[in-house]
Chain A
């Protein structure tokens, strides 16, 4: 009977301490979770602002204005510049195609290299 009593008492103390630890752990975790959620919310809000800013920067109207201002050598693509693959296979272009297209960018890079030398 005495052993039982001592065992119960020890168990009670142990469980009490255990519950107390768990409780404080839960409180701590709950606060951490709240902080994390608040952080997520804050970052999400910031991200929304950045995304909106990015969209403003990528506004086709603005890009068009910038292209007209800084890329004077370029002009909008025309239909004649795009060849379907089927037509490409049929046409003379394939026979004359050497596999070495010089692009506008190639020319600009070559010019820059020449200047640097």
Chain B
């Protein structure tokens, strides 16, 4: 290159200069140099073009900036965004930690490294670390993930070659067990495995700009439900319990399932604890299904509030006997049948409209399909194999159709909110789908059902759920759990006690469902274990604490309401 430069450029230049000095013929000299000048000119133009292109590249196309933006984006995706409650309180966040790893090929003395590391990491044995370091062909092996800054400093102080740290993010759940079933949990890399965490991951892959997930949950309400449910479980010696608080437009404000688990420390949690009873617990709900039964009867026009049904004797269909718990043994109006929770009268009501009408309405209420929710742990209902007259009668009082508590609450909410179907959601800013406004019952039916439910709280089995100052409406239900092929022997049956209600009656805003899994009779309940004696008082305790947060004013006295609902009841 150098030689050719001298030979082709400098030598002719000097030769030309010498020729010019020795010769007076300038014209021939100019001709000699012209070629070289053109060559230089072309080179200059080419260089100029290259430089201009590079300037334009940097100034206008901005490729360098793009590179830096890309690296910034990459960093952002590594850190998982926060989950907040509806008031902006932090529920789950990612905190920066360090994770310790080793490069086995760079470790000089394996025994020494393992011994010294095990002394610092007291919960890791020397042998365990040695096993990780033994393969010299490996270039990367984790020693311990998510270590504290203190521990990191200790390891750095030892100064072991081949032992390094990488920045990592650990998912932290501020309230521990409180939101375990709703938020779900992640694996060690922060990938959502259940609950909102899993939903969040799917959402993040669709929308890269997702910064925070604002849920519809409320820390205060969740804590109240959790505390009161825990108290009720220990008081009635129940196996577990679950509760949901939802606004009438379907926003879930609190959802508790007990027993629960700590998503911060998933190791050692049993599957039983991780089971969300609200969305996965499919069971026969008992008398709370009578809400749907009267709604169907009233809306379809097959019965009126004062229609009379024979409840004087039990009904026998084949091997089944339908009887009442503390029956009145007389004719009952539809209102009385509902308030006194008569199974016989409910079956008679169902007989009046038949299986086809019942099935069509149940489909409209969403009782035959899986409830759509952001979390993936939702179960399908169990439907009767043959939906004939027998199934129709048993479904009327809550047997033969097994659904999840959330599914039932969504169906009842759709009835009492004025008759518009709602879809439950855990996201605060998810508005109702106005283009798909599905009416399930008329407004008139909706108002009557609310009045009847109010009567249950004033005179019926829900008396223990009544609170001062707020018009609570509700219905209790006690169902037997299936054990083996049947419901178990008399006296040894396991129950599920449920209270489902809402408030305020005239303009309902919130709905609540409380279930206790196998509550036991205690002396305070005079040996009874029905929902009116355990689930209803639990609801009362919860309502007394949540209504000052949720309600915007004191309602008329209970006496005034008693006069109002008395028109339905013949005492």
B548 lies within 8 A of A81 (CB): yes
| 8 Å CB contact of B553 from A4, A19, A87 | A87
Please tell me which stretch of A41-49, A65-73, A94-102, A106-114 contacts chain B, meaning at least 4 of its Cβ atoms lie within 8 angstroms of it: A41-49
B95 lies within 8 A of A85 (CB): no
Task: Say yes or no: A84-B554 contact (C-beta < 8 A), given A5-B37, A52-B95.
Answer: yes
A58 lies within 8 A of B223 (CB): no
Complex Cα spacing A7 to B544, Å: 91
Residues of A within 8 A of B468 (CB): 78-80
Interface flags, A51-63, vs B, CB<8A=1, else 0: 1101110111100
The yes or no answer to B156 lying at the interface (CB within 8 A) is no
The yes or no answer to A116 lying at the interface (CB within 8 A) is no
B68 lies within 8 A of A34 (CB): yes
Residues of B within 8 A of A4 (CB): 41
> How many A residues, CB 8 Å from partner?
44
The yes or no answer to B564 lying at the interface (CB within 8 A) is no
| 8 Å CB contact of A79 from B40, B79, B90, B547 | B547
Residues of A within 8 A of B469 (CB): 78-80
B548 lies within 8 A of A79 (CB): yes
Give the interface centre of B54, B68, B544 by most chain A CB atoms within 10 Å.
B68
Shortest distance from the beta carbon of A19 to any chain B beta carbon, whole Å: 5
Residues of B within 8 A of A83 (CB): 553-554
Q: Which partner residue on chain B sits nearest A83 by CB separation?
A: B554
Shortest distance from the beta carbon of A21 to any chain B beta carbon, whole Å: 11
Residues of A within 8 A of B172 (CB): 52
The yes or no answer to B157 lying at the interface (CB within 8 A) is no
How many A-B contacts if CB must be within 8 Å?
Answer: 107
> How many B residues, CB 8 Å from partner?
45
The yes or no answer to B55 lying at the interface (CB within 8 A) is yes
Residues of B within 8 A of A44 (CB): 79
Complex Cα spacing A56 to B552, Å: 29
Specify the main secondary structure of chain A where it touches its partner: helix
| 8 Å CB contact of A18 from B47, B55, B82, B555 | B55
| 8 Å CB contact of B554 from A19, A30, A49, A80 | A80
Complex Cα spacing A16 to B90, Å: 55
Complex Cα spacing A76 to B227, Å: 15
Residues of A within 8 A of B551 (CB): 79, 82
Q: Which partner residue on chain B sits nearest A46 by CB separation?
A: B96
Residues of B within 8 A of A37 (CB): 68, 71-72, 75
Give the interface centre of A8, A41, A55, A76 by most chain B CB atoms within 10 Å.
A55
| 8 Å CB contact of B58 from A1, A11, A22, A55 | A22
Interface flags, B270-291, vs A, CB<8A=1, else 0: 0000000000000000000000
B552 lies within 8 A of A12 (CB): no
Task: Say yes or no: A26-B90 contact (C-beta < 8 A), given A59-B175, A60-B220, A79-B554.
Answer: no
B552 lies within 8 A of A52 (CB): no
Complex Cα spacing A20 to B468, Å: 81
Shortest distance from the beta carbon of B361 to any chain A beta carbon, whole Å: 35
Q: List the 9 closest A-B pairs by CB distance, nearest first.
A: A84-B553, A79-B469, A45-B96, A77-B548, A8-B44, A55-B90, A55-B174, A15-B51, A60-B223
Residues of A within 8 A of B (CB): 1, 4-5, 8-9, 11-12, 15-16, 18-19, 22-23, 26, 30, 33-34, 37, 41, 44-45, 48-49, 51-52, 54-56, 58-61, 76-87
For this complex, 13 residue pairs linking A to B, each with C-beta atoms less than 8 Å apart, are A12-B44, A12-B48, A19-B54, A30-B68, A48-B82, A49-B95, A51-B82, A51-B90, A61-B223, A77-B548, A79-B468, A80-B468, A85-B553
